Chains A and B, each alone.
Chain A
Amino acid sequence: MSAKVSIRDLRKSYGGVEAVRGVSFEIQDGEIFGMLGPNGAGKTSTLECVIGLREPDDGAIEVCGIDARKNPTEVKQRIGAALQTTSLQDKITGREALELFGSFYRQRVPSADLLKRFSLEEKADAPFDTLSGGQKQRLALALAFVNNPELVFLDEPTTGLDPQSRRELHGEIARMKGDGHTVLLTTHYIEEAEQLCDRIAIVDHGRIIATGAPKDLIAASKLTQLVSFETDRPVAAAALQKIPGASEPTVDGVHGRFRTRDISRALPELIKLLEAQPVQLVGLVVGKITLEDVFIELTGSKLRE
């Protein structure tokens, strides 16, 4: 697979503050790549440097095989972008906005198609300031697709949207992948990144601290899973220590729990132990390691809304 985006050692400072500190990554063709990090981590600065909204201090940016720092206009012909908040003139209608922005590109998708695709037909002639947040964001996505881009950049596209609008947008983004588009998505919603992205870069303090598919990141985590169970009779706590890899075992009457890094080995051992007592298992809960757990493990802090 060829790299659609290749970033090497990207740096950007504002005054004395280093917002982006040597970021490097690649995005393959047809991939949805997520940048996950808290506010102020440097995600948006990185994305804005790539799409030409900001001039980086240093680093190389190649988009669709074009040097974006030398030929930003040509890059803009091939990409589409939706920012965190898209502001248009208050009184412009969706149809007019699509016609206006469509006129800036060599290749363009008919406005009617975009209005239909993004469910904006009913609001096509409504002024921008009368649209809801979700409708505005759908219009922003429609604008990002006005030139049928090879590559789409979405900067926190669901921030501030209600759950319904967020679900709708997730559907649109999943459809982009289905249509073969390459997408770079920034977000601070872990579940969004986990649900939508093929690969994720975890960004903190201007650096990428981990990159990979969500399941690989979780698998690579050193975190332990919590196993909780309930039995028909009390179990001796000392018995739990016989389970290989179990740690922090506790028993409170019929309720017991322990931690393990190897759930596939620990669970058969637990069943075997209870049968030997003999004690009957009434309930069992295995705590899943989430991407958030991984994030906290890597960054030492929770994601901030």
Chain B
Amino acid sequence: MNQPLREIVAVTLRMYLRNRMALAYSYVFPVMFLLAFVVLYKDEQPLLIQHMGELFTVTILGGACFGLPTSMVSERERGVWRRYRLSPVSPARVIAGTLIARYLMILVAGALQLAACMIIGGWTPEHPFQLWIAFSLVTFALLGLGLVIATMADTVPAVQALGQCIFLPMLILGGVAVKLSAFADTPWVLHLSAFFPGRYAVEVMQQCAKGTGLAPAWFSALAVILTGLGAGVAGAKLFRWDAHQRFAANRNRVWLLAALGAWALIGVGAEVRREIAPPASARPKLRPTIVPGKTADTTPAPVAPAPATNLVPAPTPAIPVTTTSVPTQNPAPVTFEVKPNPVVTAPAPAPEPAVVQTESLSQPASSQPAAVTPPPASAPVVAPLAVAAVPAPAAPTPWRAYNKIDFARLPFASVPPDNGNETPIAPADEAPDLSQQADLNAVAANLKTWAPGKVADPVQRVRNLMYVASATDQAQAFLERHLPYLIMDTLRAQFQDEELEQILCWIANHPAEGDHSAVFRLDELGLLFSVDDWDVPEIRLRNQWYSIKFVWWLLGW
């Protein structure tokens, strides 16, 4: 670095360190965001590792969109830059010195933030060197935007206004503070976000903090670089020394298009690459393409899926509800007692004498068949299960007797919606982001050797695999909306569809049965949570709901 540049950097840093307000803004602001993220994601383990991209981007945005232009415009208004202009120093050196100094300030803020997260979360970034590169790329890209703001704004209040115009949309709609998956049902937001550099900034840094590193995120890295180049060119062309030179009178203002053009280019690139909302045909390989009736029996179910009140079609005879405990394939170490629920109606057809002690799915023990009663619209179909120490006797497997009539009687309309908080499933056209995809790949690899997914008993095996999705859902963990696809793929790789429908139907009708020790082995899959005190009845309930959804899915309804 030559001497003038070194002096500018040194003086800028010294001025910054002597300005208490600037210091507070640069370091208190990121700490506040850090605390907010800790509160928001307190249940995730390791804490915050999945949100470093967002956290860093917010910090960089604050320094770039407000800190840099505020100080530049303030100095220009005061005439400091005019004094520079009297000297032979070039504008390029002044700009470069200012940007380098600001980069160092932001880097320190980011390093402090990372250190705090590592201490709080007890983790280290997976690609630390690449993370530094990604952080630097993002910082220079967003500093470029800050430079454009500084050249456009004639006054410090104008900086605030322009900065907010970039900062807030980027935070809310651009995938920085609000995960894009939250807009799964609002495709226009996803399309819009593709034109904001924030989502790429988050992506490229997140992949280095926890993910596959820079290389797979090349498009995001390219988008960040393009953003920086476009803004840098625009900022250099629009640069003005003097407060008397107003932006409106700047003959170079057409160069603003360079910055806007970069945003447009990356947005169009993302659309072309289907990075936003890929069509079903372009879904990632983990997405199952469900073809109803993969087995010989492709006959549609005689009973269309219907709301709970239509679960029993008129021509179909009432199906007796099992009244006693149903045998399990594996004696369960823990069994369940279910609270009486007179409104529960989902039939549990059992071809063999049922011995269910789960009253959630059946009437109290009786030798008489019970007529199915449609539930009130507001009543839960299946009541939450409560743990009790009731031994479950072993018995022959009856699930093969289930048929499409039984499937149709499952209370499809009463399970929570896919876009809700319980048993969520991402829309088919929503691809996981790169970070999620990386984790899904890891889970998929681990599933191949996961012992609970290999047990001989097919029902228990399915149940164990379903726990993966259900527990992730209960923990409201990172992958909860995407894991069901992976589980479905895994199940379909092992079972014929018809057989799978039968097993799932059985699990749906007998959620309290079987072994749940697999729940405590989920950490073997590398899932990002570690909950020792699982609410097993709640997980079983979610297993039941997912089973019903999967049956629906397999039947192509």
Contacts and interface: CB of A to CB of B under 8 A. Distances in A.
Given A85-B79, A103-B3, A104-B4, A91 B86 contact: no
Nearest to A82: B86
Interface string A66-105: 0000000110110001010111111110001001110111
> Which of B3, B83, B87 has the most chain A CB atoms closer than 10 A to its own CB?
B87
B19 to A, nearest CB: 7
B241 to A, nearest CB: 8
B161 interface: no
> Which of B3, B6, B8, B88 has the most chain A CB atoms closer than 10 A to its own CB?
B88
A100 B83 contact: no
A89 B85 contact: no
B87 A101 contact: yes
B80 A76 contact: no
B127 interface: no
A100 B86 CA distance: 13
Contacts of A92: 11, 14-15
Given A91-B15, A96-B14, A100-B8, A76 B79 contact: no
B15 A53 contact: no
A152 B80 CA distance: 20
A138 B69 CA distance: 30
B80 A89 contact: yes
Interface residues of A, number: 26
Contacts of A74: 88
B18 interface: yes
Interface string B72-110: 000100111011011111100000000000000000000
A52 interface: yes
B7 interface: yes
Contact of A53 (B6, B85, B90): B85
Interface size on B, as a range, is 20 to 34
Interface string B1-45: 001101110010011001100000000000000000000000000
Given A104-B4, A105-B87, A89 B82 contact: no
Interface in A97-141: 99-101, 103-105, 127
A77 to B, nearest CB: 5
A214 B28 CA distance: 62
Interface in B223-282: 242
A169 B235 CA distance: 40
Given A85-B79, A91-B18, A96-B14, A76 B8 contact: no
Contacts of B83: 83, 86-88, 101, 143
A77 B89 CA distance: 10
A105 B3 CA distance: 10
A61 interface: no
A88 B87 CA distance: 14
B78 A100 contact: no
Nearest to B8: A100
A100 B80 contact: no
A100 B11 contact: yes
Contacts of B88: 73-74, 76-77, 104-105
B87 to A, nearest CB: 4
A42 to B, nearest CB: 16
> Which of A52, A81, A88 has the most chain B CB atoms closer than 10 A to its own CB?
A88
A88 B12 CA distance: 12
B74 to A, nearest CB: 9
Contacts of B3: 103
A51 B75 CA distance: 21
Given A76-B87, A76-B88, A103-B3, A96 B82 contact: no
Nearest to B6: A103
A192 to B, nearest CB: 22
Contact of A89 (B11, B89, B90): B11
Q: Top 6 closest A-B pairs, CB basis? A: A87-B79, A91-B18, A76-B88, A103-B7, A104-B87, A104-B89
Interface of A: 51-53, 73-74, 76-77, 81, 83, 85-92, 96, 99-101, 103-105, 127, 143
Given A52-B85, A73-B88, 18 more contacts: A53-B82, A74-B88, A83-B83, A85-B79, A87-B79, A87-B80, A87-B82, A92-B11, A96-B11, A99-B7, A100-B7, A101-B83, A103-B6, A104-B4, A104-B87, A104-B88, A104-B89, A105-B87
Interface of B: 3-4, 6-8, 11, 14-15, 18-19, 75, 78-80, 82-83, 85-90, 242
